[in-house]
Structure 1
């Protein structure tokens, strides 16, 4: 357990920050799954629309440093390749 007032405060802040970051990661995973589901459905136009909104979510979360920028780029690249292969 934290001994000083500063350490207790940092522990409280860490709990709050962890909850926020966890919800952001959940949003990211949901966006990626939405694109995968749209691609599996086979409708390229709908999948492209979902992909555009998901790219925005991925970039926003990478900008906040919740995931690394290279991981964000990897997700976007793989989703774009899957969308292109849908042709």
Structure 2
């Protein structure tokens, strides 16, 4: 348990950051799921549109420190190749 004033403040800050990061991660996962669903339905136009919406969200997550840069790049690469492979 935090005892000093500084450690109590750090605990409060960590809780707030955790909530913000959790919301960001959830939002990004929603965009990723939309792309996955569009790929699963076989609709190339919808998949491309969803991918175009997803990319800035992913990169924003990188700049905010939620995801590592290579993780986001890997996700975008795999999704874009799957969209490209659609009919």
User: Could you tell me the TM-score, scaled by structure 1's length?
Assistant: 0.96
Counting matched residue pairs gives: 87
TM-score, length of structure 2 as denominator length: 0.96
CA-atom RMSD in angstroms: 0.7
Structure 1 residues 38-68: Cα deviation after superposition (integer angstroms, max 9, x where no partner) = 1111111111111100011111111111100
**1:56 corresponds to:** 56
Match of 1:80 in 2: 80
- Give every structure 1 segment of 4 or more consecutive aligned residues whose post-TM-superposition deviation is greater than 3 Å: none
- Indicate the SS of the match to 2:3: coil
Show structure 2 runs of 5+ residues with no match: none
Alignment match, 1:7: 7
What does the per-residue CA deviation read over 1:19-52, in whole Å, with 9 as the maximum and x for residues that have no partner? 1101111111111110000111111111111110
Secondary structure of the corresponding residue to residue 65 of structure 1: coil
**Runs (5+) with no aligned partner, structure 1:** none
